[in-house]
Structure 1
Amino acid sequence: MIKRLTKHGNSLALVIDRPVLDLLEIDDQTPLSVTTDGKCLIIAPAPDEKRRQSFQSALKKVNKRYGRALKKLAE
């Protein structure tokens, strides 16, 4: 998909089509992380701290309960 930037006041804007927004499950309220690798612009939903904490909590429970078995399987 080729896109062009649109003039928006003194800035330029990138319009993202609805199917892409729906696919990524983002809307006008979703915080976005904008980064670059020096050649590409990378736009992604910002990391959700609450979700990360929930994952870390679940991971601790799994490791506590199954840590030994998982370690043996990794050997």
Structure 2
Amino acid sequence: MRRTLTTIGNDLGLIIDRSILELLHIDKDTPLEIETDGKSLTIRPVTPEEQKSQVGDATKRMMDAHDKTLHKLAK
């Protein structure tokens, strides 16, 4: 399947057929992971497990970076 990009404001967008969205269980609220190897683009839905892991990782980074401040606030 070949597609061209569509102008959306100052950006470009890719229109994905409804049949593909349904096959992958993607809707407008589904978070998507977009990756590139420099030659191609991969777009895939983020699983709920990945979302939980990302939130946990972000929380750990924040706590590590602000540990002293958080301990002071807890007193």
Q: Which has the larger radius of gyration?
A: 1
Q: Which moved more, 1:26-35 or 1:38-47?
A: 38-47
Indicate the SS of the match to 2:3.
coil
Query: How far is the alpha carbon of 1:38 from its aligned partner?
Result: 1.3
Corresponding pairs, count: 53
Aligned to 1:22: 22
Unmatched 5+ stretches in structure 2: 54-75
Q: 1:52 to 1:39 in 2, by over 3 A?
A: same
Aligned to 1:35: 35
Letter of the 2:38 counterpart? G
Q: Distance in 1 between matches of 2:35 and 2:28?
A: 19
Q: CA RMSD in A?
A: 2.1
TM (normalized to structure 1)?
A: 0.63
Q: 1:41 to 1:51 in 2, by over 3 A?
A: closer
What is the aligned-residue identity percentage? 49
Q: 1:14 to 1:52 in 2, by over 3 A?
A: same
Letter of the 2:22 counterpart? D
